[in-house]
Amino acid sequence: MGRMRVRPSGPLGGRVRVGGAKNSALKLMAATVLAPGTSTLWNVPAISDVEWMADVLRALGVEVTPEGGGKLTVNAGGDITPEAPYELVERMRASTALIGPLLARCGEAHVAMPGGDDFGSRPIDLHLSGLEVLGATFELAHGTIHGRAERLVGGRVVLEYPSVGATETVMLAATLAEGVTAIENAAREPEIADLGAFLNRMGAKVTGAGSPTVRVEGVAELRPASHEVIPDRIEAATFIAAVGIAGGEVVVEGARHEHMAQLVRKFGEMGMRISPERDGLWVMARDRLQPISVATLPYPGVATDYLPLVMPLLAVADGTSFATENLFGGRFRYLGELARMGARIEVEGHHVVVEGVEWLSGAPVRAFDIRAGAGMVVAGLRAEGETFVHDSEHLDRGYEDFVGRLVSIGADVESLDD
Ligand code: EPU
């Protein structure tokens, strides 16, 4: 179990680089299964979720080799066993991204049904009903989803909700289906556009990835390809939030304004100044932050993953803020931890009212998931005394060398695990 100590910090200064997007890298790794041979991914973050996805792929018979410097080679040239066991899936929900590629390549997929997590129950019904349109059938037995498809045939998939995972699952399977698949009400996240770009390099015919309608014309086979993962917008948001709460002037290298425009606008409303640079975002915060209203929405709205990072800023803003979480009903557990640090928070269903205080108060707190943990670290930067973030290993799932990079811009943060 990891533990981090955070002390009041700021003003922060200098330059910090964001790594490759976790939620893109994991799906690109899943996509490599579609093509026999060796694919190469660049800018892959050295985080535990990537290691775990590598373990899942190895269990299927795929060779995965981290080459250092963000390079990852994946050889899916051998025989593939279309079975992802519970021990691996349970560690990482994103293993469900393998259902589509396994069905397309092997005609079957046996993947343990992921359970609930700190976000509440997270169903995959939209993934499965999308694949059913393409001709797959599913059966749940003994906690495992058994999917079969002698052949996949393109069709019109209308998603009830623009789910990121369901959009990706259908895209992945449709690449090798006969005929054309149209995914309507598709999720539009930049990670989906990145997946579409990689699939096209592999020889797929995908258009509209990143828009509400994705069209996939099936091809007979795909070939291995090489691709560079887009920068992680949530990680960029984490460093921007750190500057917001601690003050200072930092260049967040690699951050792409066009991937996080709504959030940048919200930070601007709070009084921060943010402008695009050639390779990143220049960020400055000088005065006490102003309160705002913010609601999470599917892309291009403010992402649900940003809220645990923004909440500490609301907690110290000069007035009353309102926040609404529209995606995951159970994603508020971390608010109790923030309250232990002196934040004045009232929760009503999926709405939160935050009465800003001038300073938080350092306390032992728990990281319930990656972003909640990062939010606790951000909060600790403006908390009198010391904040100890327990279970900080959650942060290693999504952030490479988080402590080192925060320290490099002047944050007083230390990892205490030995
Ligand atoms: N939903 C369904 N049925 C489904 C799929 C989703 O009801 O079949 C619901 C979910 O319960 C939720 C909403 O739809 O209420 C959104 O879920 P979505 O499928 O869009 O999310 P996801 O694909 O499971 C990804 C990211 C999450 C991020 C969400 C939303 C990955 C590995 N995960 O999850 O990121 O919060 O999109 O943007 O890509 C993280 O990085 O820590 C993380 C949790």
**Domain boundary at 188, 207, 227, which?**
227
Per-residue pLDDT reduced to its tens digit, 181-211 = 999 999 999 999 999 999 999 999 999 999 9
Respond yes or no: is residue 117 known to be catalytic.
yes
Minimum CA distance residue for ligand 1 atom 36: 305
Per-residue pLDDT reduced to its tens digit, 111-144 = 998 866 666 677 899 999 999 999 999 999 998 9
Residue 46 belongs to domain spanning = 24-227
* Residue of 241, 188, 162, 273 whose CA lies nearest to 411: 241
* Residue of 351, 357, 375 whose CA lies nearest to 365: 375
Beta-carbon contacts of residue 186 (< 8 Å; ≥ 6 apart): 159, 162, 167, 192, 208, 209, 211, 212, 213, 214
CA 205, CA 217: separation in Å to the nearest integer? 5
Do 150 and 106 touch, CB atoms closer than 8 A?
A: no
**Domain boundary at 162, 192, 227, which?**
227
Mean pLDDT by 10 residues, the chain (418 residues): 95 98 98 98 97 96 97 97 91 92 98 75 90 97 94 98 98 98 98 98 98 98 98 98 98 98 98 96 97 98 98 98 92 95 97 98 96 97 98 95 98 89
* Residue of 350, 348, 341, 344 whose CA lies nearest to 304: 350
Q: For the chain, what is the total number of helices (H) and then of strands (E)?
A: 14, 26
Beta-carbon contacts of residue 355 (< 8 Å; ≥ 6 apart): 320, 344, 345, 346
Q: One of 117, 279, 318, 412 is an active-site residue; which one? A: 117
Minimum CA distance residue for ligand 1 atom 25: 164
CATH number, position 269: 3.65.10.10
Do 96 and 172 touch, CB atoms closer than 8 A?
A: no
Please name the residue that has the structure tokens 């396994």: 102
Ligand 1 geometric centre to CA of 76 (Å): 27
Ligand 1 geometric centre to CA of 189 (Å): 11
Whether 291 and 209 map to the same domain: the answer is: no
Q: Is the peptide bond before 11 cis (omega within 30 degrees of 0)?
A: yes
* Ligand 1 closest atom vs CA 328: 15
Whether 269 and 411 map to the same domain: the answer is: yes
Whether 137 and 117 map to the same domain: the answer is: yes
Phi then psi dihedrals of residue 331, to 5 deg: -95, 35
Please name the residue that has the structure tokens 């045939």: 153
Minimum CA distance residue for ligand 1 atom 44: 305
Whether 373 and 251 map to the same domain: the answer is: yes
